[in-house]
Structure 1
């Protein structure tokens, strides 16, 4: 799972940087919140999950790891799209809020599953 998390993290970094460049070029920073969430929850968290899987979780590829990956990625896609629609004023807040709630819960689920896997993995002898 380490490679999958790193690759998706890098994809979020590219997407977030492109959005940042578009905001700078247009002098319209209305998508700042979207940009920040893509960079932090998308890039940074995915990258850290990849490192955790590689360095401490022995690159688990069990059902729990797959569910964690799916929850985080589904949550991030919904979150990025939802925030883009909200802050771009393409959709009314009351329409998109349920999607953003679901996306937040999915990303939280991914974090809880990472904590469970990390805690359940025996510490390596040094």
Structure 2
């Protein structure tokens, strides 16, 4: 499966999760997870979707290895961060326990973004003409 398709599928999964959480919050009138909801939709859905678009529209021959490392960093970091936010705002696990884990996850998401920049800059002659 191509990396752009992997990102599209991941983005749609995050969108479904975010929408289900949003519907739950609206139905229950309990908006304690609004931060989690926003992060699921932004980091999970929007950023994954944008990465997929970048791969589909601009990068002709990405390094398969580097693209997979970048995908793993983003998806793993996003998933851990979003689960951590759910556990934190749900008062299931205290911030003192989750803070370091979420900090590492946030750095993974940042590394994913930095790696995307490397991918975009790596082959200046191999992009689709705009």
| TM-score normalised to structure 1 length | 0.95
- C-alpha RMSD of the superposition: 1.3
Report the Cα distance in structure 2 between the residues aligned to 1:59 and 1:85, rounded to whole angstroms. 39
**2 CA distance for matches of 1:59 and 1:6?**
18
Q: Which runs of 5+ in 2 are unaligned?
A: none
Task: For 1:125 and 1:110, locate their aligned partners in 2 and report how far apart those are by CA, in whole Å.
Answer: 25
Quickly say closer, same or farther: Cα 1:27–1:62, change in 2 above 3 A: same
**Structure 2 partner of 1:97:** 99
Cα distance change, pair 109–60 in 1 and its aligned pair in 2 (3 A): same
List runs of 5+ in structure 1 lacking aligned partners.
none
In the alignment of these two chains, the number of paired residues is 126
**Matched-pair contact (CA < 8 Å) for 2:7–2:52:** yes
After TM superposition, what 4+ stretches of structure 1 lie above 2 angstroms from structure 2? 123-126
For residues 62-106 of structure 1, the C-alpha deviation after alignment (integer angstroms, 9 at most, x for no partner) is: 111000000000001101110000000001110000111011011
Pairing 1:78-117 to 2, within 5 Å after superposition: 78-117=80-119
Distance 1:3 1:10 in 2: 11
